[in-house]
Amino acid sequence: MKSLFITLLGLLPASLIWHSNFKEAQLEAQTSHKQILINFSGSDWCGPCIRLRKEILGSDAFESYAKDHLVLVQADFPRQKKNQLSAAQVKLNEALAEQYNPDGKFPYTLLVDEKGKVLKSWDGYPNESPEKFVQDLNTN
């Protein structure tokens, strides 16, 4: 029974790695020659952010594409006390927001190249299927 459980676990797709430090993600993108997807989110208060994460960024279509083509960065701005980030993480997220999201839009998603140049952006929830979202990513 135990070996069956371990075998079944091996069949589950590995979840994607979302970086919390843009500079580290950028270094990875430069060595792997991948684009970077930055997602600004209010994970515990922003309904469209939660929906985006669940319906598009958590979809099989997105995960299949992202694992081979993207370095992922999550800049989260939770409000509930129980979800508060470390002071260092807040500082990193605020610096990233100053550079890429000065108007404080949520959700706000950007596709940037390995040098940090914006290639495409989505303001709010992209009202499209996960497959169409991946198609939009792939046209850059």
104: left (phi over 0), alpha (psi -120 to 50) or beta: left
- Domain of residue 134 covers 16-138
* Residue 136: pLDDT band with limits 50, 70, 90: very high
pLDDT of amino acid 15: 80
* 11 found inside a domain: no
Give pTM, 2 decimals.
0.89
pLDDT of amino acid 19: 97
pLDDT of amino acid 10: 40
Q: How far is Cα 46 from Cα 49, in angstroms, rounded to an integer?
A: 5
* 57 found inside a domain: yes
* 1 found inside a domain: no
CATH number, residue 110: 3.40.30.10
* 5 found inside a domain: no
**Under 8 Å between Cβ of 92 and 110:** no
* 26 found inside a domain: yes
* 25 found inside a domain: yes
Query: For the chain, how many structural domains are there in total?
Result: 1
- pLDDT at position 67 over 70: yes
* 9 found inside a domain: no
* Residue 54: pLDDT band with limits 50, 70, 90: very high
* 3 found inside a domain: no
Phi and psi torsions of 131, nearest 5°: -65, -40
